[in-house]
Amino acid sequence: MQPITTSIFELFKIGPGPSSSHTIGPMKAGADLMTLTRALPVEVKSEADRLEIRLFGSLSATGAGHGTRKAIISGLLGHSPEHCPPEVLDNLDRSPSEQHELDFTGNFITFTASDIIMDAVEHDYPHSNTMIFRLLNKKGKSLLEREYYSIGGGFLRWLGYEEPQRGEPKYPYSSMGTLKEHLTRNDIRLHELILENEKAITGLTEDEIFSRLDTLIEVMEHAVEKGITTCGKLPGPIGLHRKAPTMYQHARNDHFQGSGFVKALNAYALAASEENAAGHCVVTAPTAGAAGVIPAILFVLKRHLGALTDEIRQGLLAASAIGFLVKHNASISGAEVGCQGEVGTASAMAAAMLAYARGYRFQITENSAEIALEHHLGLTCDPVGGFVQIPCIERNAMGAVKAYNAYLIATTVEAAYHMVDLDKVVRAMKETGRDMSHKYKETSEGGLALSMTEC
């Protein structure tokens, strides 16, 4: 199996919610299509009459509730996920007939949300989240076509995609078993290994990596801070009220002691997740739908446990290793494996971050991650109405609490008694996702999404 060459900053990305596969990936696709179109010969661009976009799989099933049309339009208009202000998305796709002028460098065409067509949920394309972009002339002839795949976590691929040239990792691994061998053979700690690989793969310096990590930490903290102070209803027809401010106030009333601490942990996860549901800026950790779990643990580490900046950085590097392994050997996409791949992976990453930042060595870190992931196996993705609200927001809170509890179990029980390693539970998650009905993979055709509709 090929070694992992994913960058930390591909796994952790800044962008608008509510779903990295439904907003960040499609926004990138829109921007990429514009780049391709502007590079066409002038005589070809002059023929362009309209742009047709077809969405398949869970993008079709839940794209309306996930803000996919808004994201695509914003990408076509020149926005990128990391620099897209929230108000841009708030003001898009208010009407299917609202017109947008697309500038192909001197050649303009008019585009509306109705040109984005929700196509088949079940299909034969290589990935559930498939998008077909076609630039057509007046006779309907295709001038340019690209088949995109939004594969989860904001990662975008397309038909004929080739991985960009990058450096070889200093310590190549594709499994936890191989990773452990490197740590033992080279007498190196986990965060040092991930750091060395990042430098080798990306060419970034250590200072540049730390600076980018600090930016991620800042965005995560901001999402929590904004979420615990913002009241009201979330956008969309469900009319769901934000819970984070109330939960946080109860934690304060308890002076963050006893159950007050758990209330605070819940509040932090709800806060970041509610910001994500509002379409505001979050960090994919590893996805937008699971963007409340790691920030909640990070907030606890900094505000309640007094963790230092270097400890937080090291914890995030350890969390990256877990995210890499799940993405490489299974999936972090709800459309492929259900919510076990999103909140489950986030919980495992958060548990590893907590253990490592608290000074525990590798085995305890792995055990923490394994316990958290094991107890998310089989978790379905069944968003009510296609919105990342019910049950997604509370699932982030449950994922954060499970991460903390996994850390407690791993640091209390004798490590030698631990029976299951991370490689085994990742393999089990992949097999579970493969056997799971498509109804429970972000389509809103089963589970809570269906039972809520029936009621």
Structural tokens at position 319: 């969390």
Distance CA 253, CA 225 (A): 18
For residues 238-249, average pLDDT: 97
Class of domain 20-158: alpha beta
Task: Please say if the pLDDT value at position 455 is more than 50.
Answer: no
* 345-382 pLDDT per residue, tens: 999 999 999 999 999 999 999 999 999 999 999 999 99
Distance CA 284, CA 19 (A): 9
pTM given for the model: 0.88
Residues written for the chain: 455
Count CB-CB contacts under 10 A for residue 109.
Answer: 18
Q: What is the pLDDT of residue 386?
A: 86
50 forms beta bridges with: 136
For residues 280-304, average pLDDT: 96
Q: Report the alpha-carbon angle 80-86-87, nearest 5.
A: 115
Residue owning tokens 């946080």:
248
Number of H helices, E strands in the chain: 19, 9
* 78-122 pLDDT per residue, tens: 888 888 776 667 777 677 778 999 988 878 899 998 999 999 999
Provide the 3-class DSSP secondary structure of residue 235.
coil
**CATH hierarchy code of domain 176-454:** 1.10.4100
Provide the 3-class DSSP secondary structure of residue 50.
strand
The share of the chain scoring above pLDDT 70, in percent, equals 98
What string of H, E and C letters represents the secondary structure of 109-124?
EEEEHHHEEECCCCCC
Q: What is the pLDDT of residue 348?
A: 98
Q: Where are the domains of the chain?
A: 20-158, 176-454
* 12-62 pLDDT per residue, tens: 999 888 888 899 999 999 999 999 999 999 999 999 999 999 999 999 988
Task: Please say if the pLDDT value at position 271 is more than 50.
Answer: yes
> For 175-236, where are the alpha helices, taking DSSP H only?
176-185, 190-202, 206-227
Asked if the bond preceding 286 is cis, omega within 30° of 0, the reply is: yes
Q: What is the pLDDT of residue 454?
A: 54
Task: Please say if the pLDDT value at position 146 is more than 70.
Answer: yes
Structural tokens at position 243: 């819970």
